[in-house]
């Protein structure tokens, strides 16, 4: 391609700048993962980055924010998982042009700080959904078997599974729940097309109250936003059927932790399982024993397949942005 002609094919000045910068410098892409990707995923990311003529840097298992601040100093692009990209990190990353959260939830990135610097933030929607959906079902079975306590288990077949938010993960949980013989109901105020639910044989309910009231197992798939933080608590839990279990593979921030303690205290039949410890996990463990369980680290996307899907997608999205200005998955538009 001739550099004197190509810029005229690019619509905006920003796209031209990106193109010229990519011709002059070797771009440096940092994978910063406190909880590292599987090796195969890192190998695949390296291949994509190096084939594009860029340099890959790795910061894995870091234990202190200062290590991240130092590592981002000269990078053009950043791939992260649940790693916190705060205003401080963004300020330290003088050359940063793009951050890709390899995964779905981007509540760990300060979008306002990124936007103020013109930095593009993307996620990789759908890439790790199956892993999270499988974990949600596994958690239901684990709790219905009373955490593998002989003589006390029950089955999930024939029970009602409620899905709170019918996005990429919610849909997969719904379909898998159906395959396991569960009655599946879902609530999602952002999906108005009934056909989306009908296609999966899932019953759509009109209100969040209706959902919790019907659900023997409630699987949470809402993002952590200003609207949803602390929104799941006492009233919703208390409305659930006898022996119900709340399954949280979303974010701990969406839970009203004091409300959950109150509900579990008043209702000895209720159970709560969460992927990543609650803020008050020690209190939950002490008060409710086997009725609560938390993973030590977030396990939802901890499969080789999810790491490969999300990691490679992140690397490809960065290359496509730096070379072609593609912002399809940008979340801070
Ligand atoms: C996501 O939002 O994609 C999941 O919570 C996965 O997070 P992780 O990459 O930190 O495991």
DSSP for 95-138 reads T--EEEESSS--TTB-HHHHHHTT-EEEE-TTTTHHHHHHHHHH
Give the per-residue pLDDT at 18. Answer: 59
Torsion (CA) 283, 285, 289, 291 in degrees, nearest 10:
100
Distance 107 CA to ligand 1 centre (A): 10
Give the per-residue pLDDT at 10. Answer: 53
Q: Which residues pair with 120 in a beta bridge?
A: 98
Contact 154, 125 (CB under 8 A): no
Q: Is the CB of 301 under 6 A from ligand 1?
A: yes
Q: Is the CB of 298 under 6 A from ligand 1?
A: yes
Phi-psi region of 315 (alpha: psi -120 to 50; beta: other; left: phi over 0): alpha
* φ, ψ (nearest 5 deg) of residue 295: -75, 150
For 13, 217, 248, 281, 299, the CA distances from 139, given in Å and listed in that order, are 50, 10, 9, 17, 11
Give the per-residue pLDDT at 15. Answer: 64
Query: Measured from the CA of 250, which atom of ligand 1 is nearest?
Result: 5
User: In a structure prediction context, what are the per-residue pLDDT tens digits for the chain, which is 333 residues long?
Assistant: 333 334 445 566 666 665 555 555 689 999 999 999 999 999 999 999 999 999 999 999 999 999 999 999 999 999 999 999 999 999 999 999 999 999 999 999 999 999 999 999 999 999 999 999 999 999 999 999 999 999 999 999 999 999 999 999 999 999 999 999 999 999 999 999 999 999 999 999 999 999 999 999 999 999 999 999 999 999 999 999 999 999 999 999 999 999 999 999 999 999 999 998 999 999 999 999 999 999 999 999 999 999 999 999 999 999 999 999 999 999 999
Q: Is the CB of 104 under 6 A from ligand 1?
A: yes
**How far is the C-alpha of 202 from the C-alpha of 299, rounded, in Å?**
26
Q: How do the domains of the chain map onto residue ranges?
A: 13-127+304-324, 129-294
* E-assigned strand segments in the chain: 28-33, 55-60, 77-80, 98-101, 120-123, 160-164, 183-187, 203-204, 217-220, 245-248, 271-274, 292-294
Give the per-residue pLDDT at 70. Answer: 98
Architecture of domain 13-127+304-324: 3-Layer(aba) Sandwich (3.40)
Give the per-residue pLDDT at 54. Answer: 97
Give the per-residue pLDDT at 6. Answer: 41
Could you give the count of Cα atoms lying within 13 Å of 325 in the half-sphere of its Cβ? Answer: 15
- Is the entire prediction scored with pTM above 0.85? yes
Give the per-residue pLDDT at 24. Answer: 57
Pick the residue whose CA is nearest to atom 11 on ligand 1. Answer: 301
Give the per-residue pLDDT at 214. Answer: 98
Pick the residue whose CA is nearest to atom 10 on ligand 1. Answer: 82
Task: Please check whether the two domains, 13-127+304-324 and 129-294, share a CATH topology.
Answer: yes
Give the per-residue pLDDT at 8. Answer: 42
Q: Is the CB of 126 under 6 A from ligand 1?
A: no
CATH of range 129-294; options 3.40.50.720, 3.30.70.20, 3.40.50.300, 3.90.226.10: 3.40.50.720
Contact 170, 163 (CB under 8 A): yes
Query: Measured from the CA of 106, which atom of ligand 1 is nearest?
Result: 2
């Amino acid at each position: 391609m001739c550099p004197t002609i190509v810029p005229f094919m690019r619509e905006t000045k920003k796209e031209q700048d990106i193109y010229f910068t990519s011709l002059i410098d070797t771009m440096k892409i940092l994978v910063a993962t406190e909880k590292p990707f599987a090796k195969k995923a890192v190998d695949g990311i390296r291949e994509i980055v190096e084939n594009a003529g860029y340099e890959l840097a790795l910061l894995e298992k870091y234990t202190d924010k200062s290590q991240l601040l130092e590592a981002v100093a000269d990078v053009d692009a950043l791939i992260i998982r649940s790693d916190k990209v705060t205003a401080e990190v963004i300020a330290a990353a003088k050359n940063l042009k793009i951050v890709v959260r390899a995964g779905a939830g981007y509540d760990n990135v300060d979008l306002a700080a990124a936007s103020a610097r013109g930095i593009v933030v993307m996620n990789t929607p759908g890439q790790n959904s199956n892993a999270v959906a499988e974990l949600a079902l596994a958690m239901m079975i684990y709790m219905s078997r009373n955490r593998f306590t002989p003589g006390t288990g029950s089955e999930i077949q024939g029970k009602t599974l409620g899905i709170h938010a019918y996005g990429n993960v919610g849909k997969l949980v719904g379909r898998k729940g159906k395959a396991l013989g569960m009655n599946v109901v879902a609530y999602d105020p952002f999906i108005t097309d009934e056909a989306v639910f009908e296609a999966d044989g899932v019953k759509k309910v009109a209100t969040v109250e209706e959902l919790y009231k019907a659900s023997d197992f409630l699987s949470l798939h809402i993002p952590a936003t200003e609207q949803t933080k602390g929104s799941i608590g006492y009233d919703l839990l208390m409305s659930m059927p006898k022996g119900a279990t709340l399954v949280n593979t979303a974010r701990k921030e969406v839970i009203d932790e004091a409300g959950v303690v109150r509900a579990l205290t008043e209702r000895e039949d209720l159970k709560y399982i969460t992927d990543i410890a609650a803020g008050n996990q020690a209190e939950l463990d002490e008060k409710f024993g086997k009725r609560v369980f938390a993973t030590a680290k977030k396990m939802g996307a901890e499969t080789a397949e999810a790491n490969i899907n999300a990691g490679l997608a992140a690397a490809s999205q960065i290359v496509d942005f730096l070379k072609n200005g593609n912002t399809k998955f940008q979340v801070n538009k």
